[in-house]
Homo-oligomer: A and B are copies of this chain.
């Protein structure tokens, strides 16, 4: 007979699991087991595995029998360890029921505390603790949580009051008290009775007195909460697969709210916002753990604990060191002190800002906790951006009015229009405006708004409050616990001292310093950028040292070349400072819009004969030559990939009558002719129209001019002793013959310029692969192309049949339904677009083994896409200059992670 599946893993005196078992036990369960194993003071309990979650769903909402059976044994084990019985009328065992997925999803799912209390056991608890107030308070809290989470009694929407809170307020009013902890046992009993009535009325069932029923109900609710809207939204944002499921942890309750020798707190082994290596956290005396995290009362900094409970603090300091030594990463831990005794309720790798991620990883490597590989792999590639975003200009800050301070919870500078609801922040964002979300405190319902906002500001809550936690993970600029602020939702305003800030007014927040300013402040480049552009000495910036060390490592490890999308010498120089190794895309048409040229461009487009066109084109030649010369000079010998004219011509012509008339006058033709020609350029689907190489084929004189401009610039460089490696890239090729046609023009022109100048010209000819057909026929195309570069923006549009400009009408719905796991215009759609890329590389290299393959769509600077590009063997990614560090880190991570 096969052994029954093990669904329940104990921790405590006996511990079945360990930290490696995250997939099965979830992060919290695995780490509880690990802590128990290494002898840390963990209240005993057990974990129902993620496999139970799947089985629960498949069974239509009930536990497998084997799981129920194993649970009975596990509860008995906890009873033995605690010397109490679950449901016992004298000294009842109480438990907490918490979710715990493979990746932490803070605030996303539900927790129930004090489970095991009923009308009988509450008397036992009162007697055993000799504290009836505590017993009844615990009971009413349990009923409230159970009613909310398991029985679905909660506010109808975010604007309605919580029904339990309404009852509570009414009881408080009746008792004439202001705070919960001022209610006496009788008043609490009255409250409990009214809670029960509320539940019966709203949920249609009695609050269950049977503790086994309570436990099963709570476990079921946690499993169900995996599928609630907040959790789904969160998973979507962080790309967590929904089939992972959650585990459930049932653990003996310990109480931080039994009196002055009790406390509860949250701590980080390092500062999660700045990354600094200091013990960091906060606690509340005489409180339950959720009070700290919920941000309702602003807790004390952890340092105060040294004075309040010196023994406990010393013990915690020791644990901090042990945890980092054991887990080799910054830990986020929860603890409770019950009558002077310290318990650890949770430890996990702490969420951190991008800023902190870089700093902690690099410092831990230096401290010997981890090796270089681990350090690199641990930094989310995107987080390097937080070292590069602008900061407030010191001078501007000096002149601005700093109206308040708060706890710095997300570094960086943000300005925007103040709004007081998540919905409003979304609205502003939707209109393309910058929103600054200000709340007394945030809750999971605010997540969409927090995503939409530039920055987040709360009046209450500490660095482990919901706002701080979420902002940290989203990489948002954030200040929490700015207690001088009073937010008034009714009047849509906030007050601070004599100032009143209304919805729509501008505020600026410095999330690094925790400072709040009136108005919108000017920004300057980040510290790293100041060093890079020479306005700050490197030795003055420890941050730069970290950055430079990391980039240096990456350069040595990565296999992919990191190229630039740069259309001007200035962009090229910026990209070079970040370590760009060449230009993967110069869009020649961007140069067309500049002053003094656009008219020639328009004459070229509106020409009716090849002769007229030739004439206009010739006038553009010197400009284009200068453009290329500037870029060649900036890049000094690195490859420069020049894409020939790509966009549909109607993008260049004026569509308003006045400008058309003016143009007609300049060109000396009738206005009607200009108007007609402009109208004739109109297309039903310009994306699929007369553009790319189709232009160069229809109007070869344009390609000839562009080729001449490139080659004459090359000759000039050579004469000036500047090395130069131009690569000419033909866009939107679908048929090998198109490329051949354009290649012949280029080759002829190269020979002609060589003859004219007597200078030999080295160059490559290649193509964009941005049409499905091109990818499928890459073998034939590679017979002509020496290199190819995926134009992944257009390739995504054609492969998915989706116009990026038009998807607004259904994008929301598609995201909601999880039809996209990621936005395919942000991260390469591996199964569709990626498959075509894979096929293209395979077929292209079969025809030309040394075919250079790159990517120059916006995906080239997105970490997951960079890793994909590495996996299919591309030679380089090309991205905007500012994304070079991100791409470089992602490329190094891809190389470290193995594969090609």
Binding site for B on A (CB under 8 A): 683-690, 694, 697-698, 732, 734-735, 737-738, 741, 770-773, 776-777, 780, 794, 797-803, 805-807, 809-810, 813-814, 817-820, 829, 831-833, 835-836
**Does A836 contact B772, Cβ atoms closer than 8 Å?**
yes
**Does A684 contact B686, Cβ atoms closer than 8 Å?**
yes
Q: How far does the Cβ of A696 sit from chain B's closest Cβ, in whole Å? A: 11
Q: How far does the Cβ of A144 sit from chain B's closest Cβ, in whole Å? A: 35
Residue of B nearest to A833 (CB): B773
Residue of B nearest to A690 (CB): B809
**Does A829 contact B773, Cβ atoms closer than 8 Å?**
yes
Pull 30 A–B residue pairs with CB atoms less than 8 Å apart, ordered by A: A684-B805, A685-B685, A685-B797, A687-B801, A687-B803, A688-B688, A689-B809, A694-B809, A697-B814, A697-B817, A697-B819, A698-B810, A734-B800, A734-B801, A734-B802, A735-B820, A741-B817, A771-B799, A771-B801, A772-B772, A772-B798, A772-B799, A772-B801, A773-B801, A773-B829, A776-B799, A776-B831, A777-B831, A798-B798, A798-B801
**Does B794 contact A773, Cβ atoms closer than 8 Å?**
no
Residue of B nearest to A683 (CB): B806
Chain A at the B interface: SS class: helix
Tell me the bound Cα distance from A734 to B798 in angstroms.
11
Q: How far does the Cβ of A855 sit from chain B's closest Cβ, in whole Å? A: 17
Hey, which chain B residues are within 8 Å of A810, CB to CB?
690, 694, 697-698
**Does A806 contact B686, Cβ atoms closer than 8 Å?**
yes
Residue of B nearest to A813 (CB): B698
Q: How far does the Cβ of A818 sit from chain B's closest Cβ, in whole Å? A: 7
Residue of B nearest to A814 (CB): B697
Residue of B nearest to A797 (CB): B688
Tell me the bound Cα distance from A818 to B737 in angstroms.
8
Tell me the bound Cα distance from A697 to B803 in angstroms.
17
Hey, which chain B residues are within 8 Å of A686, CB to CB?
684-685, 806
**Does B698 contact A806, Cβ atoms closer than 8 Å?**
no
Q: How far does the Cβ of A417 sit from chain B's closest Cβ, in whole Å? A: 25
Residue of B nearest to A802 (CB): B688
A734-B801, A772-B800, A777-B831 given; name 11 further pairs at CB < 8 Å: A683-B803, A687-B688, A689-B806, A689-B809, A734-B802, A735-B820, A737-B819, A772-B801, A773-B801, A776-B832, A798-B801
Hey, which chain B residues are within 8 Å of A685, CB to CB?
685-688, 797, 803, 805-806
Q: How far does the Cβ of A262 sit from chain B's closest Cβ, in whole Å? A: 50
Given contacts A685-B803, A770-B801, A798-B799, contact A738 B819 (CB under 8 A): yes
Tell me the bound Cα distance from A690 to B805 in angstroms.
11
Q: How far does the Cβ of A730 sit from chain B's closest Cβ, in whole Å? A: 13
Hey, which chain B residues are within 8 Å of A738, CB to CB?
819
**Does B818 contact A684, Cβ atoms closer than 8 Å?**
no
Hey, which chain B residues are within 8 Å of A771, CB to CB?
799-801
Tell me the bound Cα distance from A819 to B735 in angstroms.
7
Top 7 nearest A-B pairs (CB, nearest first) are A773-B832, A688-B803, A689-B806, A685-B803, A772-B772, A771-B801, A690-B809
Contact of A813 among B689, B697, B780, B813 (CB under 8 A): B697
Hey, which chain B residues are within 8 Å of A697, CB to CB?
810, 813-814, 817, 819
Tell me the bound Cα distance from A800 to B687 in angstroms.
11
Hey, which chain B residues are within 8 Å of A836, CB to CB?
772, 776
Q: How far does the Cβ of A180 sit from chain B's closest Cβ, in whole Å? A: 42
**Does A688 contact B832, Cβ atoms closer than 8 Å?**
no
Residue of B nearest to A735 (CB): B819
Most B CB contacts (10 A, CB to CB) among A737, A773, A801, A803 go to A801
Tell me the bound Cα distance from A47 to B20 in angstroms.
82
Tell me the bound Cα distance from A807 to B687 in angstroms.
12
**Does A801 contact B806, Cβ atoms closer than 8 Å?**
no
Hey, which chain B residues are within 8 Å of A735, CB to CB?
819-820
Q: How far does the Cβ of A652 sit from chain B's closest Cβ, in whole Å? A: 15
Tell me the bound Cα distance from A735 to B151 in angstroms.
37
Tell me the bound Cα distance from A798 to B734 in angstroms.
11
Residue of B nearest to A805 (CB): B684
Hey, which chain B residues are within 8 Å of A773, CB to CB?
799-801, 829, 831-833
Hey, which chain B residues are within 8 Å of A794, CB to CB?
801
Residue of B nearest to A773 (CB): B832
Q: How far does the Cβ of A348 sit from chain B's closest Cβ, in whole Å? A: 32
Q: How far does the Cβ of A162 sit from chain B's closest Cβ, in whole Å? A: 29
Q: How far does the Cβ of A872 sit from chain B's closest Cβ, in whole Å? A: 14
Hey, which chain B residues are within 8 Å of A802, CB to CB?
688, 734
Tell me the bound Cα distance from A683 to B687 in angstroms.
12
Most B CB contacts (10 A, CB to CB) among A685, A686, A805, A810 go to A685
**Does A803 contact B835, Cβ atoms closer than 8 Å?**
no
Tell me the bound Cα distance from A797 to B802 in angstroms.
12
Residue of B nearest to A819 (CB): B737
Tell me the bound Cα distance from A803 to B770 in angstroms.
15
Tell me the bound Cα distance from A448 to B370 in angstroms.
76
Q: How far does the Cβ of A830 sit from chain B's closest Cβ, in whole Å? A: 11
Q: How far does the Cβ of A770 sit from chain B's closest Cβ, in whole Å? A: 7
Tell me the bound Cα distance from A806 to B831 in angstroms.
30
Q: How far does the Cβ of A737 sit from chain B's closest Cβ, in whole Å? A: 5
Q: How far does the Cβ of A139 sit from chain B's closest Cβ, in whole Å? A: 44
Tell me the bound Cα distance from A798 to B819 in angstroms.
20
Tell me the bound Cα distance from A687 to B771 in angstroms.
15
Q: How far does the Cβ of A511 sit from chain B's closest Cβ, in whole Å? A: 37
Hey, which chain B residues are within 8 Å of A819, CB to CB?
697, 735, 737-738, 741
Contact of A806 among B688, B797, B820 (CB under 8 A): B688
Q: How far does the Cβ of A804 sit from chain B's closest Cβ, in whole Å? A: 9
Hey, which chain B residues are within 8 Å of A687, CB to CB?
684-685, 687-688, 801, 803
**Does B832 contact A777, Cβ atoms closer than 8 Å?**
yes
Hey, which chain B residues are within 8 Å of A806, CB to CB?
683-686, 688-690
Tell me the bound Cα distance from A833 to B738 in angstroms.
17
Hey, which chain B residues are within 8 Å of A799, CB to CB?
771-773, 776, 798
Q: How far does the Cβ of A415 sit from chain B's closest Cβ, in whole Å? A: 31
Tell me the bound Cα distance from A817 to B745 in angstroms.
14
Tell me the bound Cα distance from A809 to B776 in angstroms.
25
Tell me the bound Cα distance from A694 to B833 in angstroms.
19
Tell me the bound Cα distance from A737 to B819 in angstroms.
6
Tell me the bound Cα distance from A794 to B799 in angstroms.
11
Hey, which chain B residues are within 8 Å of A801, CB to CB?
687-688, 732, 734, 770-773, 794, 798
Residue of B nearest to A694 (CB): B810
**Does B832 contact A772, Cβ atoms closer than 8 Å?**
yes
Tell me the bound Cα distance from A32 to B803 in angstroms.
60
Tell me the bound Cα distance from A122 to B732 in angstroms.
61
Tell me the bound Cα distance from A687 to B803 in angstroms.
8
Tell me the bound Cα distance from A688 to B687 in angstroms.
9
Residue of B nearest to A649 (CB): B809
Hey, which chain B residues are within 8 Å of A741, CB to CB?
817, 819
